[in-house]
Amino acid sequence: MTEFKHEVGSLVRTRGRDWVIQPESYQVDELIVLQPLDGSLHASIAVDSTLEEVTSSSFSLPKAQNANATDTKNNIGSLEQAILLRDAGKLSFRNAAGPFRCLSRIGVEPRPYQLVPLMMALRQETVRLLIADDVGIGKTVESLLIARELHDRGEISGFSILCPPHLAEQWRDALQ
């Protein structure tokens, strides 16, 4: 079994992104199992450290602009600074999902053809799309991808779904 220079839970950088080493790394020869910092289990990867460069990574500590302890507005320990730091971290994780922000916040893995309506919608100034296809093809997933992406980008604050009454409960369940 290969001896790793990094311990389980340590932060490493590969493929232009920071990752956390998972315990499964010690169960597989030559491979390091990595999970992205946002905690997405479906985005975990296994990297062969003999083929790809895996380096140690770390975060630098935040620095206060004014270290005066009496100035609570610039004090690094203030609640305001902590909230800003947390929000910055959340934004960086959401943007790390790739070209579509919605892919990091959905409970399904869309098929490639289900991304086509999303790409079409993002090219429109005012999104108006009729999604019509056979039963079971994934129209619900396609439409919710569009809604989630527009919401995550801050372009909409809400949306409406027009459907026959007998499908209203199905849509409600899909939205949850």
- The tens digit of pLDDT for each residue in 43-59 reads 778 888 888 888 888 87
pLDDT tens string 95-121? 554 567 677 667 777 888 888 888 888
Contact 86, 40 (CB under 8 A): no
User: Count of residues for the chain?
Assistant: 176
Record the pTM: 0.45
Number of Cβ atoms within 10 Å of the Cβ of 70: 6
Residue 31 clears pLDDT 60, i.e. is over it: yes
Name residue 55's beta-bridge partners: 13
User: Which among 61, 50, 51, 54 has a CA at the least distance from the CA of 20?
Assistant: 54
Q: What is the spatial distance between Cα 79 and Cα 65, in angstroms, rounded to a whole number?
A: 15
Burial of 117 (0-12, 13-18, 19+ CB in 10 A): buried
pLDDT tens string 6-15? 677 788 888 8
